[in-house]
Structure 1
């Protein structure tokens, strides 16, 4: 039961944070806020996953569930990214849609790598 509460609490924090950041007005043809949310979530999930694997006792299981499954799951916006990409395509903005999709995938994979490298630097191996 504690695991479910940890995931739910993390999901709440992540979703509310995503909503709040989504209110930031950025004038651009590219959905930059969603891209930045996905990148940030990728860095966090990479760091948490790496920290948990480097020093399994440093992060309690509940903390990993809160951060990785709950917070990052509620915060990142892949479904929003997909909808925005399709809307760009439907609006005839093929090049912008392609650039957005490519940037999202490349940046978010790089974000996970950055998070893992950050954790390796900051978290001593057990």
Structure 2
């Protein structure tokens, strides 16, 4: 039955990723993939909060952590877009995207853990 909880979270996370990516990207006239950056950082923050919260029900962890965050975030698209930047001769942008995404994701995860611990000790 756990897989249904994961599917339910994924059914929300996947379309939200697509819609957020399109909305963010349409507001930026840049070669950088800001939509993917945004969903990945938000997913890291949500998963960090979930991790920091001490007493979260297992079903909520499956729903939010595995289903929602798993569908919202996208390592494969991040990798693909970084590769495409490199192939297009935008190596500096590719490096900025890679380093910035990793640092922002880690920062969001750490901030999320601290927030989860503060709000739900």
TM-score normalised by length of structure 1: 0.90
Counterpart Cα distance in 2 of 1:97 and 1:23: 20
The reply to whether residue 87 of structure 1 matches residue 79 of structure 2 is no
Aligned to 1:49: 51
Cα offsets for 1:7-65 (capped at 9, x unmatched): 001011000100111221021121111111110000000111111xx22xxx2211110
The alignment yields a C-alpha RMSD, in angstroms, of 0.8
Aligned pairs for 1:43-122 within 5 A: 43-51=45-53, 54-55=54-55, 59-122=56-119
Q: Tell me the matched-pair count.
A: 118
User: What TM-score, normalized to structure 2?
Assistant: 0.94
Residue ranges of structure 2 left out of the alignment (5+ in a row):
none
| Runs of 4+ deviating beyond 6 Å | none
**Structure 1 stretches lacking a partner, 5+ long:** none
